[in-house]
Chain A
Amino acid sequence: MKKIILSLAVVLVSLVSMAQKPEYYQAMGESLGQYATCQSVADFQALGNKFQMIAAAEKSEWLPLYYHAQCYILMSFMEQDVTKKDGYLDVAEKSVTSLLEMVPAESEVSVLQAFYLVGRLVVNPMERGQEYSGLSGQALGKALALDATNPRAQLLQLQMDMGSAQYTGQDPKSFCPKAKELLANWDNFKPKSPIHPNWGKDQAEVVVKGCE
């Protein structure tokens, strides 16, 4: 019962705010719709540009900055030229830093921070491995402490655990029951609004598929 009231309240609040800023919600909705069509670094840059524009227009909203940073982190993963990766992450870092100041208690922001730190790590795992795996673990720990049910935090944690298992002689498949449980419960987590972070289910499916 409590849950229903709570989710009703969330829907109500978001409806009210949507009604207040129709242009913002429309622009965000359109931009989020473009994620599916992004296939290259340039695509993500163009999308990141949109979010930056929205962020500049809506200085009190954190979601545009969130997606702006996410676009640049994804760009660094897609980029082949090693020297460019850090440049994209420098852009992402600025938005992540602003986000941590704007909404320090937002679990999704800590997940994004961890994701950004993983981006730094993969540029040069040999030299950055130790430092950045610790830092991203710390950010994830914070994300889970803020909201233990956040499926994106759980997913990233799982991916990191499975990744390090490969290097340390553990069987990555020992994490499979956890992965299945995560996927099964994925939809129980309700984003606060249609434009709040809601990604990761397809990645969780990939992880579970890899278990079979």
Chain B
Amino acid sequence: MPGANAYLQGTYDGASSGENGEFKFRTSKTGQQTLLVEFMGYEPFSLKVELKGDTIRLNVKLKEAFNELNAVTITAGTFEASDKKQAVTITPIDMVTTAGAVGDVYGALQSLPGTTVNGESGRLFVKGGDSEESQTYIDGSLVSVPYNSSAPNLATRGRFNPFMFKGTIFSTGGYSAEYGQALSSVLLLNTNDMPVEDQLDLSVLSVGAEVAGTKLWKNGAVTGTLSYNNLAPYMSLTPQNYDWGKYPESVTGAVSVRQKTSKTGMFKFYSNFDNGSFTLSQQNPDAGGTPTDYKLDNGNQFVNASWNDKLGEKWAVSTATSFTNNTDDIQFEQTTVAEQIQGTHLKSVFSYPFSEKFILKMGGELFSKKFSQNVQMPNEKHDNSFTNNTFAGFTEAQIYASTKFVTRVGGRVEYSDYLNSFTVSPRFSAAYKITDKSQFSAAYGWFYQNPVDDYLLYTDLLKPERADHYTFSFQSSVNSRTIRVELYYKDYKDLVKFTGGEFYLPTSYNNSGKGYAKGLDLFWRDKKTIKNGDYWISYSYLDTKRDYRNFPEEAIPTFASKHNFSMVYKHWFGNLRSLAGANFRYSSPRVFNDPNSPVFNGEKMLAYRSLDLSWSFLYRQHVIIYGAVTNVLDFKNEFGQRYSNNPDANGNFQGTAIQPGSNQFYVLGCFITLTRKGNANQLDKIE
């Protein structure tokens, strides 16, 4: 081992080992001395030697030091984005610069394997799971309503700006016992730490404008953001597939506070409000295809606070809480619907390292949700609501046998007071490093989630739904090239079935549904081969069927497509100071149900294809100009048909095609960051 440092403690006598690992040095010291041999990444070696003037020969073997950062990590099912780890697959900046995402966190994730693009939804669909099976957490606490409110069959976006986050973990299965109430995936978003300087950010886009200001003080900072979006100018200039009585408009404001509470502690607070509205006119198959207005007013308030610190030398604690209040007021035809979700999440996690190689984590959490729905029709009125408190406790041990082998064993218990149900979920995962650059990883666990709100409104006789995950993955990263292969199997049990009968009767629902999903996910990323270029390719094969909700039999669900392909390319043009991006996505045809056909979910929609481009130009150090186009080649995308609820005189259900809001989307924007740069009189920054 060349370059190791050998010396007598407290003296100036020593030497570095040469190319063959040998070292020798002379000393004038005598008597008892301590010889130290040190090398980065290895445990220091020390030996008492008795110096009597003659030559001492020694054979020193250094033991590799255990370091969690260099040790194997469990990658089964997980895409982690942080810039500290070597084997990252995607990074936070990718979230922002992926073409086609147009600044949407969820849009960017849909270029990763395991996801299926559902153009009429925009939400995440992971490994044969429905969108409700995925949960989003910010700084450890749940986001009850992560997406903007939207009309049926119209794509939505996430509520949060990707620039807020410094790190992301997207787990598509087999996740830790720390996470519950999600059958398919969890997305963990971590907000930025302390900003470096006071700044003012201005952005003007073709669809709106935003201003954000950051002010620092001793060990703390506050950021205030205000944005206004109005699609009226944009939508009136570009071709749209639907008529809008009122173009989407929204006002959003947010305040975020960060405060260091000690040398190791950090408190974060984030609060935002969001008010949006639109009136959309869609063809109504029940009214002979005449346009019908769908009017929506949404109000959303979200508060999130978290605190992380060390208690004493070893204990680490993180506590997080969030509160969501979301109201939707909807009007269509003669019906008005008022819905309100009030969600509270409280969570505390404690971890204690018994040694570097054995870390125990435990914690508890409470999910509280109140959902109320008020429906008014000319001759009917329904008022329903429920409150469900789910209490959970979990514990998990992470055990390293060496830097090469790690296992994580844990369990989780949950109790829902509304359903009066108690569940126990074991979780197990392990990873083994075959070489420095490659590793195998496996995960197994039971996952429970309360049935969707629409059912809980009418019944408390249900149990949580369940999915068992089996995930096996291989990952290898060599020289800025990464390959991942993942095989998985998911066994769905206790899914809620609608058994016929009146929808408002509790007895019309039971837990007899079931299903499976299995597939293969491939991921290849290469930042090396093309100079200044970086690309990744994702492919997912998915085979899934389920019998749930109103399915008459086991069938492929409409949100699943067998083959999903995505290729993302980014290129830095230094002389143009520009980052260009392209993203091609393909999803094989999904199924939909035609009530005129005897086969359930027997029809196939068009395959989804889209080529998206984006361009960011660094005009000045603090000015970025950004432009993006989706579906430049104008592929025709259609998401099946929407059918009338009642048959016409000939006994046929009339259908109308479900199209995207527009075939293409263009965005142009300018981002300006103003800072007070000056070095002379910033003495207050000196600690």
By a beta-carbon cutoff of 8 Å, the part of chain A in contact with chain B is 23, 27, 42, 45-46, 49-50, 52-54, 56-57, 82-83, 86-88, 90-91, 104-105, 124, 126-128, 131, 134-135, 137-138, 140-142, 144-146, 148, 157, 164, 167-170
Contact = CB atoms under 8 A, between A and B. Distances in A.
B474 to A, nearest CB: 20
Contacts of B86: 83, 86
Interface residues of B, number: 40
Task: Please list the 9 inter-chain residue pairs (A to B) with the smallest Cβ-Cβ separation, ordered nearest first.
Answer: A49-B5, A134-B196, A46-B16, A168-B621, A141-B679, A53-B7, A45-B3, A27-B12, A144-B679
27 contacts: A42-B2, A46-B16, A49-B14, A50-B16, A53-B11, A53-B12, A53-B14, A56-B7, A56-B9, A57-B9, A57-B11, A57-B12, A83-B86, A88-B40, A104-B687, A126-B93, A126-B572, A127-B83, A127-B93, A128-B83, A135-B196, A137-B677, A138-B685, A145-B682, A167-B618, A168-B620, A170-B620
B38 interface: yes
B10 A169 contact: no
Interface of B: 2-5, 7, 9-12, 14, 16, 19, 36, 38, 40-41, 83, 86, 91-93, 196-197, 479-480, 572, 577, 618-621, 677, 679-683, 685-687
Nearest to B619: A169
Nearest to A82: B480
Contacts of B621: 164, 167-168, 170
Contact of B680 (A45, A126, A148): A148
Contacts of A144: 679-680
A56 to B, nearest CB: 7
A54 B12 contact: yes
Centre residue among B11, B16, B197 by max chain A CB count within 10 A: B16
Centre residue among A53, A126, A145 by max chain B CB count within 10 A: A53
Contacts of B620: 168-170
A105 B685 CA distance: 12
B683 A145 contact: yes
Nearest to A105: B686
Q: Is the contact region of chain B dominated by helix, strand, or loop, or is it mixed?
A: loop
Contacts of A135: 196
A209 to B, nearest CB: 23
A91 B679 contact: no
Contacts of B14: 49-50, 53
B93 A52 contact: no
A42 B21 CA distance: 12
Nearest to B6: A49
Contacts of B677: 137
Contact of B679 (A57, A86, A145): A145
Nearest to A44: B3
B686 A146 contact: yes
A197 B197 CA distance: 29
A91 B67 CA distance: 13
Contacts of B682: 141-142, 145
A91 B12 contact: no
A192 B196 CA distance: 31
B679 A140 contact: yes
A1 B575 CA distance: 53
A86 B681 CA distance: 33
Given A46-B3, A49-B5, A168-B620, A91 B40 contact: yes
B298 to A, nearest CB: 33
Contacts of B19: 42
A168 B680 contact: no
